[in-house]
Amino acid sequence: MISIPGRHGVALAVFLLFCFPMLVTGQQSGSRDVSALIGGLYKVTRFAGGTHSMVGVKAAVVFAGGVEIGGIGIKVLEPVDISVSAGGLLQLRTGYGGITVAKRGLLGGRIGAGLFLGAGNAEIRALPVGNQLGSDNFLVFEPEVTLKLPSWNVMRSALGAGFRFVTGVDDLPTLSAADLRGFTVTLMVVVGGP
């Protein structure tokens, strides 16, 4: 997994959020049949027996008629501590990425519906030492309904609600695919797009 440390990650995020859409806007046709957007996600979700925060990025191309095709990468904000019956403590780290297809402008223009298809990875580490006890890849399927919130110039926001389905988890001690499934609430802030 690619990890961008500290201030370099912040600088990259600022560039992607504020500069990239302006560059892409310059590439659009005069009729605005196709546009691009990029932004950030903050997701609150249920998994591993608790409620946790995730952060991520989104980039997409929006076609005439409100059809959006893009990609999302998201990871847990802080590693998740899991207590085990033997009195020990485990730590879960997870993230996933993939493609998203959505339709905007339903029911009066403020509602959208989308589907995320992708793959993820989760690992379990023993605390306090941090030895890896297991790691597994899995498939993710996440339908979501979104509500468009007020926008500011080129910055747009939406609130989403969905459910994350996961399959293919076999090698994580004390966890199964059911532990990684759960309801999601997502705040999206993007720049660019129609």
* Length reported for the chain: 194
Q: Which domain holds residue 14?
A: 6-192
Is 62 within a domain?
yes
Q: Assess contact for 122 and 85: CB atoms under 8 A.
A: no
pLDDT in tens, 17-67: 555 544 444 444 455 689 899 999 999 999 888 899 999 999 999 998 889
Is 1 within a domain?
no
Is 101 within a domain?
yes
Total tally of structural domains belonging to the chain: 1
pLDDT value of residue 192: 85
Residue 122 scores a pLDDT above 90:
yes
Is 61 within a domain?
yes
Cα angle value 62/63/64 (rounded, 5°):
130
Is 161 within a domain?
yes
Is 149 within a domain?
yes
Residue 115 scores a pLDDT above 80:
yes
Is 116 within a domain?
yes
Residue 189 scores a pLDDT above 90:
yes
Is 120 within a domain?
yes
Which pTM value belongs to this model? 0.78
Which CATH number does the domain housing residue 53 bear? 2.40.160.20
pLDDT in tens, 63-87: 988 899 999 999 998 988 888 776 6
Round to whole Å and give the CA distance between 184 and 158.
14
- Token couple for 177: 């695919």
Round to whole Å and give the CA distance between 29 and 38.
18
Q: Which residues pair with 158 in a beta bridge?
A: 148, 188
